[in-house]
């Protein structure tokens, strides 16, 4: 029996203990968004430090201006390959509490009618369960062979759910310590419950809030109607002009740096059998509203977006009020892809707005921060093929290279601050209800997730 | 000395007593919008009844579902001309109280640096002071000649500031009693402090609130952006399409029934020296936003409008939220002129909206009521010329026939329910701060207003 097979058997034989450890961690109420849970966040960090030390990691809890980081390294680094693993131990708030079938911090194993099992509780999926798949894989290697076949460092964050405010500075300050050949992140989903996936495209983000002003006070529409400029009309015109009838964004230069999807990825996506109609049907829609000529999957992941997330101005109470307001407000987000740069998109958007401002109108912008560039993983690196093969071996199905409509800023930081590529490998499912009541993680995700990392560690270490 | 001159002298000699009576009425806190002041409204009605009885009117306080009406008739009606006078005794609320220089219900005479005098207090202008100009004119005629040279009825309302909810039914129920040859309303402004005016054009109103719905729930813009229809974009497109670059409303059929201003009225308006630039400059604007080819004065009074008074949808809190909302809301008002009909405009607007709804979107309308047609007074009737001459004699300046951007629904009711034309003659000034703190009525408006009605009563009576 090969060492790999022995380690996989060890995972199977000790799964109950792995679940117990996950439940211990889930019981710690490490809600990072609420200052009342500060001590619980620290407790989770210390729990991880203790577990990793038990696995002979050189582990420590490191202070930040916010919740602490846990940093760990295998003590016996050699000249071979070296990965940096990332996960986060903080969780989302649990309200509304009344909608949970079981208390969020009292994890259980729920048996489904089809015999499948779910691990329930806040953080079982996002990200304590996912994080532990990697830790438990390390544990199995250590238990069976006495060492890891790969140099491993870890950074486990406690502020992911609050937008990672301390992460940039921490990475910059510990650049030499944290630099590795490759980053591995376990915070994403499978394609579906049978198909493992590596997320290779993440959209970037640019946010912009603005207010358009006209008269210096609210006016009576009887006394001023028509003659006075109405900023609600001006704002509406700007928003209406943003996209044409075919869903194409009209901001000059917006598509600079946006490439077409590589043929091999597009072919793979077409074969994944994503049903755009069904996807939209679940929320009461039937027709894709994005760029014509692109599938729903492409609209959601490989194409950029321009969305208004909020508008307001004038009277919104009961009945009516004959007012021409002095101001009109809107909030926008842009999801960016490929080589689009947030700074250039911001400039282009502002020029677009200002070109549509009539005399007597002015615009003010509110910077809300949080912008970051898109990420397209360099799938040509040899590690990609090794991880694909390891995943495909475990799941008996070719791993998909997928895009995510959402954004994981950490990956751009790894590239820009540490100069590393990232592979995002996760075992969550779309129905895990992360951030919602009744969060769960399939036992299969947890079990085969651990086994997947056992294989990936072997594959990357053997190179 | 003619009877008319004697009556005018009587007005001058007894002005202090007229002011005392106005102050008595102003001291009654008849705020109709606040149920706490119900008894005060009744008190104002009873005060008027008493005063009118003293002038030998057949006067009575009449119940309605809301605040009472005061109805009065000269007891000695002959076969001569007969007018129905309208005013209202209710007033607007007074908050914010801290902004008043004198308590709103403690009227004073304020002497200005130029020697002019203002009567201060809530209702001095709108409409207690204006209403009393007519009553005091009747008083002077009665005092000097023992009778009025004209058959006079009056209807004095206590619900004007709440939208006159009881008026329609009351007019319909007392049609025979209230019918006269002509209605006279004293609730409008002069053109400027030296130029008397008859308001001959009042715009009508149509209100529409709507909500546009797309997905059956709010969506995450990362997970659904572009592919899911965003109702904020749909609403913006509709609003943007409502007017073209030249300010012309694009709803098919919108301008049906809108005529050009008669040449003589247009000539008079051009000669009034209205400075559109100055008017807009006072609120921080410089360029008229209405239909090209029409003066600011025309845009404000003789042209129809289409204004958004409020929009909202999605997130409007601090920072940003990556949401595609399920709904977008807007409130619209249309000011109508000439032969435009509210019902047809509503239908045309709804068709316009629905023609722009993409698949997956629906629209719901909220009826807020309060629509009424525009009014163009038939200035060809002989009474118009008589009133113009009376006003011109009093002010030594030709009375202007003006339009009002706002709306006075009572006039359309008089026409539709009682079959009477209305002449709107008022002595308020634009700076009277009606509905605001520190409301005032120029003593000159009050004094020469009474004298104007003395002349108008003579002019109409002698016909």
| Nearest neighbour of A290 by CB, restricted to B226, B232, B305 | B226
A415, pLDDT greater than 50 = yes
Of A105-114, B102-111, B347-356, B366-375, the least confident: B366-375
The Cα-based distances of B435 to A325, B46, B213 in angstroms read 18, 24, 37
ipTM: 0.83
CB neighbourhood size of A314 (10 A): 24
pLDDT recorded at residue A462:
65
**CA A264 – CA B198 distance, rounded (Å):** 79
Mean local confidence (pLDDT), B181-197: 95
3-state secondary structure A22-66: HHHHHHCCCECCCHHHHHHHHHHHHHHHHHHHHCCCEEEEECCCC
Indicate the average pLDDT of chain A. 94
3-state secondary structure of B131: helix
| A321-328: average pLDDT | 91
Residue ranges in B282-423 assigned as alpha helix (H): 296-301, 342-355, 382-395, 410-418
Instruction: Express each pLDDT in B118-165 by its tens digit.
Output: 999 999 999 999 999 999 999 999 999 999 999 999 999 999 988 889
* Least confident range of A122-126, B277-281, B377-381, B382-386: B377-381
Q: Which parts of B195-329 fold into alpha helices (H)? A: 221-224, 231-242, 263-271, 276-281, 296-301
CA distance B247 to chain A (A): 8
Q: Which residues of A touch B319 (CB under 8 A)?
A: 368
CB B393 within 8 A of CB B400: no
Which of B201, B208, B210, B225 would best serve as a mutation to test chain A binding (most A beta carbons within 10 A)? B225
Show Cβ contacts of residue A341 under 8 Å, excluding neighbours closer than 6 positions.
A257, A373
Using a pLDDT cut of 90, give the percent of chain A over it: 79
Mean pLDDT of B84-91: 97
* Predicted local confidence at residue B413, as pLDDT: 86
Give B-chain residues touching A284 at CB under 8 angstroms: 214-217, 360
Strand partners, A313: B311
Q: Per the CB < 8 Å rule, is A222 touching B335?
A: yes
Task: Compute CA B249 distance to the chain's CA centroid, rounded to the nearest angstrom.
Answer: 25
Angstrom distance (rounded) from CA A45 to CA A49? 6
Strands B362-366 and B204-213: antiparallel
Preceding amide of A127 cis, omega within 30 = yes
Q: Which of B221, B303, B310 sits opposite A316 (nearest CB)?
A: B310
Condensed to tens digits (0 to 9), the pLDDT of residues A140-172 reads 999 999 999 999 999 999 999 888 899 999 999
- Residue B362's H or E segment, with its range, is strand B362-366
Share of chain B above pLDDT 90, in %: 79
Q: Of B46, B21, B1, which is closest to residue B138 (Cα–Cα)? A: B21
Phi, psi of A128 (to 5 degrees): -65, -45
Contact B225 A320 (CB under 8 A): no
The 3-state secondary structure of A381-417 reads: CHHHHHHHHHHHHHHCCCCEEEEECCCCCHHHHHHHH
| Maximum separation of any 2 CA atoms in chain A, in Å | 89
Q: Is A372 helix (H, G, I), strand (E, B) or coil?
A: strand
Neighbouring C-alpha atoms within 13 Å toward the C-beta of A152: 32
Residues of chain B found within 8 Å of residue A370, distances taken between Cβ atoms: 320
Comparing CA positions, the residue from B70, B165, B153, B134 lying closest to residue B413 is B165
Give the pLDDT confidence of B396-406 residue by residue, as tens digits.
999 999 988 76
Q: Which residues contact B222 (CB under 8 A, 6 or more apart)?
A: A203, A335, A404, A405, A406, A407, B322
Place of tokens 């002011």: B19
Structure confidence at residue B286 (pLDDT): 96
- Contact in structure between B185 and B411 (CB atoms under 8 Å): yes
Closest Cβ opposite residue A333 in set B219, B221, B300? B221
- Does A463 score more than 90 pLDDT? no
Specify whether the CB–CB gap between B195 and B427 falls below 8 A.
no
| Chain A CB contacts of B325 below 8 Å | 309-310
pLDDT of residue A25: 98
First vs last Cα of chain B: how many Å apart? 21
**What's the average model confidence in pLDDT over B92-110?**
93
- List all residues 6 or more positions away from A317 whose beta carbon is below 8 Å from its beta carbon: none
Virtual torsion, Cα B296, B301, B303, B305, nearest 10 deg: 90
| CA B303 to the chain's CA centroid | 17
**Please, what is the angle between helix A342-355 and helix A231-242, to 10°?**
130
Q: Where are the domains of chain B?
A: 3-202+375-461, 204-258+304-366
Sequence-distant (≥ 6) Cβ neighbours of residue B246 within 8 angstroms = B291, B292, B293
Cα angle for residues A240, A246, A247 (degrees, 5° grid): 60
Look up tokens 């693993």; give the residue: A85
* DSSP track, A154-175: EEEES-GGGT-TTHHHHHHHTH
The answer to whether A289 contacts B247, with C-beta atoms less than 8 Å apart, is no
Quote the CA–CA distance of B432 and B126 in Å, as a whole number: 9
Residue A359 has its nearest CB partner, among B230, B287, B309, at B287
> Within a 10 A sphere around the Cβ of A102, how many other Cβ atoms?
13
Mutate to test the interface with A, among B92, B236, B433 (most CBs of A within 10 A): B236
B361 chain-A contacts, CB cut-off 8 A: none
For domain A3-202+374-461, give the CATH number.
3.40.630.10
| Cβ within 8 Å, pair B320-A312 | no
Q: To the nearest whole angstrom, how far is the Cα of A399 from the nearest Cα of chain B?
A: 21
Within 8 A of A199 by CB-CB distance, chain B residues are none
> Pick from A219, A233, A310: which is nearest to B239 by CB?
A233
- Is A285 within 8 Å of B360 when comparing Cβ atoms? yes
Q: What is the pLDDT of residue B221?
A: 84
CATH T-level assignment (fold) for domain B204-258+304-366: Alpha-Beta Plaits (3.30.70)
* C-beta atoms of A284 and B216 within 8 A: yes
Chain A hits for B232, CB-CB cut-off 8 Å, are: 239, 308-311
Chains A, B: CB contacts under 8 A, how many?
268
Counting runs of H as helices and runs of E as strands, what totals does chain A give?
A: 15, 18
Beta-ladder partners of A404: A202
Confidence tier at A404 by pLDDT (50, 70, 90): confident
What is the helix (H) or strand (E) element at residue A424, kind and residue range? Answer: strand A421-425
pLDDT tens-digit series, residues B411-425: 888 988 999 999 999
Q: Are A455 and A4 in contact (CB under 8 A)?
A: yes
Minimal CA–CA distance to A336: which of A153, A204, A139?
A204
Look up residue B231 and give its two tokens. Answer: 């109702």
Note if the bond before A452 is cis, omega within 30 degrees: no
What residues in A contact B327, CB-CB < 8 Å?
none
Residue B21 has pLDDT above 70, yes or no: yes
Other CB atoms within 10 A of residue B350 CB: 15
Does B463 have pLDDT greater than 50?
Answer: no
Please report which helix (H) or strand (E) contains residue A10, including its range.
Answer: helix A3-13
For B33-71, write each residue's pLDDT tens digit. Answer: 899 999 999 999 999 999 999 999 999 999 999 999 999
Q: Say whether B311 and A232 touch across the interface (CB within 8 A).
A: yes
- Alpha helix locations (H) across A292-396? 296-301, 342-355, 382-395
Q: Do B283 and A224 touch (CB under 8 A)?
A: yes
How far, in Å, CA of B137 to CA of B457, rounded?
A: 8
Nearest chain A alpha carbon to B239 = A236
Whether the predicted pLDDT of B408 surpasses 80: no
Residue A369 has pLDDT above 60, yes or no: yes
Q: Distance between CA atoms of A325 and A220, rounded to whole angstroms?
A: 9
Mean pLDDT of chain B: 94
Which chain B residues touch A226 with a CB distance below 8 Å?
247, 288-291, 299-300, 303, 305, 307, 335
Spatial neighbors of B347 by CB under 8 A, at least 6 apart, are none
Query: CA-CA distance, A295 to A291, in Å (whole number)?
Result: 9
Please name the fold of domain B3-202+375-461. Aminopeptidase (3.40.630)
Give the alpha-carbon dihedral of A243, A245, A246, A248, to 10 degrees: -10
State the smallest CA–CA distance between residue A325 and chain B in angstroms: 7
Cβ–Cβ < 8 Å for B26, B122: yes
Sequence-distant (≥ 6) Cβ neighbours of residue B158 within 8 angstroms:
B30, B32, B41, B44, B45, B66, B67, B68, B69, B88, B89, B90
Phi, psi for residue A209 in degrees, rounded to 5:
-110, 140
3-state DSSP assignment of residue B31: strand
Q: With contact defined as beta carbons under 8 Å apart, do B268 and B400 qualify?
A: yes
Measure CB to CB from residue B314 to each of A207, A228, A310 and give the nearest one.
A310
Tell if the CB–CB gap between A368 and B220 is shorter than 8 Å. Answer: no
Distance CA A173, CA B82 (A): 93
Q: Give the three-state DSSP class for B349.
A: helix
How many C-beta neighbours within 10 Å does residue B301 have? 28
Pairing mode, strands A182-185 and A421-425: parallel
């Amino acid at each position: 029996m090969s060492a790999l097979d022995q380690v996989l058997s060890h995972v199977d034989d000790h799964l109950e203990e792995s679940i117990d450890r996950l439940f211990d961690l889930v019981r710690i109420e490490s809600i990072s968004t609420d200052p009342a849970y500060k001590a619980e966040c620290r407790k989770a960090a210390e729990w991880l430090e203790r577990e990793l030390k038990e696995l002979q990691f050189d582990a420590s809890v490191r202070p930040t201006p916010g919740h602490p980081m846990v940093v760990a390294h295998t003590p016996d680094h050699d000249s071979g390959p070296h990965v940096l693993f990332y996960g986060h131990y903080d969780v989302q708030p649990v309200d509304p509490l009344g909608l949970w079938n079981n208390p969020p911090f009292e994890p259980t194993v729920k048996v489904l009618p089809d015999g499948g099992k779910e691990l329930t509780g806040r953080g079982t999926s996002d990200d304590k369960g996912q994080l532990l798949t990697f830790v438990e894989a390390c544990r199995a290697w250590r238990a069976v062979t006495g060492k890891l076949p790969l140099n491993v460092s870890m950074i486990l964050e406690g502020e992911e759910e609050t937008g990672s405010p301390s992460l940039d500075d921490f990475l910059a300050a510990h650049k030499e310590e944290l630099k590795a050949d490759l980053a591995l992140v376990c915070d994403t989903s499978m394609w579906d419950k049978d198909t493992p996936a590596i997320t290779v495209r993440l959209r970037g983000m640019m946010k912009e809030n603005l207010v358009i002003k006209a008269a210096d006070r609210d006016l009576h529409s009887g006394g001023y109607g028509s003659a006075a400029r109405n900023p609600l009309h001006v704002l509406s015109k700007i928003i209406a002009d943003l996209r044409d009838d075919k869903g194409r964004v009209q901001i000059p230069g917006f598509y600079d740096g946006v490439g077409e999807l590589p043929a091999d990825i597009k072919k793979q996506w077409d074969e994944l059998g994503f049903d755009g109609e069904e996807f939209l049907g679940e929320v009461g829609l039937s027709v894709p509203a994005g760029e014509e000529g692109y599938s729903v999957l492409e609209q959601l992941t490989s194409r950029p977006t321009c969305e208004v997330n909020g508008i307001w101005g004038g009277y919104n109470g009961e009945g009516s009020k004959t007012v021409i307001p002095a101001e009109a407000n809107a909030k926008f987000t842009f999801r960016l892809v490929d080589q689009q740069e947030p700074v250039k998109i911001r400039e282009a958007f502002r020029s677009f707005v200002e070109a549509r401002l009539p005399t007597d109108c002015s615009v003010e912008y509110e910077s809300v921060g949080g912008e970051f560039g898109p990420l397209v993983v360099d799938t040509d690196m040899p590690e990609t093929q090794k991880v694909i093969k390891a995943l495909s071996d475990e799941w008996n199905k070719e791993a998909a290279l997928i895009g995510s409509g959402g954004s994981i800023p950490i990956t751009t930081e790894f590239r820009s601050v540490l100069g590393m590529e990232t592979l995002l490998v996760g075992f969550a499912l779309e129905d895990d209800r992360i951030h919602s009541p009744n969060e769960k993680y399939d036992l299969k995700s947890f079990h085969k997730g651990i086994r997947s990392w056992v294989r990936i560690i072997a594959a990357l270490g053997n190179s």
